[in-house]
Structure 1
Amino acid sequence: MKNSLFLEQGTHRIHYQVIGQGKTLLLLHGGLGCLNEMQPLADHLAERYRVISLDFSGHGLSTLGPQPSSYAAYQHDVECVLKHLGVEHYSVIGFSDGGIVGYRLASAAVQQVDSLITLGAQWRLQDTDPARPLLEGLTAATWQARFPQAVADYQSTHPQPDFPALVDAVKRVWLDTSAQGYPDESVTKITCPVLILRGESDFLFTLDEAVQLKKRLPSAHFANLPFASHAVHQECPTWVCQLIDAFLEQYE
């Protein structure tokens, strides 16, 4: 894997990559994925930015460690990598879980996050959310049946492969409604420019939830892209890149 770098962080190891030059842009992947899923965006953005991407704990080449996984723990890992690299100001692009971590970063480090772009990223999980049964019912077997190549890549590259354990850890993250989980109403603390992207058929981040988020961030931009579901950056990469470029150029 090109440009692989590692940071020892307590009981686990964080894998990250840095490509390109310019202003710093943090690129964060989704749950049960890895930084490779963001590579098309990374290659495009690295033409003008210094792009930092990392694998969340247990994902990609990052080890899981004994500590409980949570969005707060993912956020802490990100902050450790940024501190290690001496980064003080940066923008964030996050898909799904990566976008949720992006909300947490932007609401906690308002003086450091210059702008935020999220792709299919929930900001809370209510009891009545239609995504809850999907998250609760996920198993390692069902994920492997749907994404066999991704699981095969994980098994062949991860230093300590245990996919069922990773699924269990990630499900706890998804269903955690404590302060260690979703940012929830703390999104109102976000002051940087925000672009919210969603595929019109996204089965996890509903249109109603996107509208509720937009109400809490009235100055944010929102795009509901047709012909796309949850992984909008993979299904409509040209549109997504054009929107990201326009947004970042406007707020540089």
Structure 2
Amino acid sequence: MATAERHAGNLYIRTEVFQAKCLVEGLKRLGVGRFSVYGISYGGIVAYHMAEMNPLEIDKVVIVSSAIGYTEEQKERQLTRIGRRISGFLVPESPQDLRFLVSLSMYRNDFLKWVPDFFFRQFINAMYKTHRKERLEMIEHLLTKDADPNVPILTQETLIIWGDQDKVFPLEFAHQLHRHLGSKSKLVILKNTGHAVNMESPCELNILIKTFVFRHSYHMLEV
């Protein structure tokens, strides 16, 4: 029983809701008042929860390439489409795992054939060796939790940005979120861009965020 309780506790602190609460509490302790938030992929899910739970503190929201409000059918279909064990490449152990992750995330990925394996090994050692267990627990939570297509509608103005070649979360997820949020949201689709919008279209992304957020706005936080 004690082991099960510890396991449940570990999974709770890996949830996006818990992380959203921690970020907001941390900002309050630093004296940050009202601010805007931007998140990409998993960070966008955390940002969404931050905004939903703190409508007075958070001014505007930018969501990039984040699956929010999907159905169980969409989840299963996308996992089947990817065709590999998710934790095996989201927390890569080998150059092959990392190559697959980059090729899935980026539309323009021809450069991969020129990158030697030793570079990927060093990258894995630097980025994925620490807190590996915690990362895997986070992925376990994402994969096992029930899909919820009826997420709360945000009260903040929200900018949704997506790559038209996203193979992780195809465009249907973007249009679905846009419809769900309604008139207070805006969807921008970037051409020839995959899931890693910040890597493939950084200039366009930065311009869109700054134009949207810094129009008579407050502090901005990237998740």
Decide which structure has greater strand share. Answer: 1
In 2, the alpha carbon distance for the partners of 1:197 and 1:127 equals 23
In 1, the alpha carbon distance for the partners of 2:16 and 2:155 equals 20
In 2, the alpha carbon distance for the partners of 1:210 and 1:75 equals 22
Name the amino acid aligned to 1:131: Q
CA contact (8 A) 1:103 1:187 kept: no
Higher relative contact order (CA 8 A, sep 6+): 2
Name the amino acid aligned to 1:212: Q
CA contact (8 A) 2:37 2:62 kept: yes
TM-score, normalised relative to structure 1: 0.63
* CA deviation vs aligned residue, 1:102-133 (integer Å, no higher than 9, x gap): 11111111111100001101103422223334
CA contact (8 A) 1:197 1:224 kept: yes
**Per-residue deviation, 1:183:** 6.9
The CA RMSD measured in Å over matched residues stands at: 2.5
CA contact (8 A) 1:71 1:173 kept: no
CA contact (8 A) 1:196 1:221 kept: yes
Matched, 1:87 2:32: yes
Q: Which runs of 5+ in 2 are unaligned?
A: 1-8, 103-119, 218-223
Name the amino acid aligned to 2:171: L
Tell me what 2:180 maps to: 216
CA contact (8 A) 1:75 1:101 kept: yes
CA contact (8 A) 2:65 2:174 kept: no
Closer/same/farther in 2, CA of residues 250 and 79 from structure 1, 3 Å limit:
closer
Tell me what 2:85 maps to: 137
Tell me what 2:164 maps to: 200
Tell me what 2:196 maps to: 231
Tell me what 2:63 maps to: 118
Decide which structure has greater helix share. Answer: 2
Tell me what 1:249 maps to: 214
Closer/same/farther in 2, CA of residues 195 and 150 from structure 1, 3 Å limit:
farther
Give aligned-pair identity as a percent. 22
State how 1:1-252 maps to structure 2 within 5 Å: 67-68=10-11, 69-129=14-74, 130-133=77-80, 134=82, 137-138=85-86, 139=88, 140-141=92-93, 143-146=97-100, 148=120, 149-154=122-127, 161-163=130-132, 165-178=133-146, 184-188=149-153, 190-219=154-183, 220-250=185-215, 252=217
* CA deviation vs aligned residue, 1:75-107 (integer Å, no higher than 9, x gap): 122123112212231100101111001111111
**Per-residue deviation, 1:218:** 1.6
TM-score, normalised relative to structure 2: 0.70
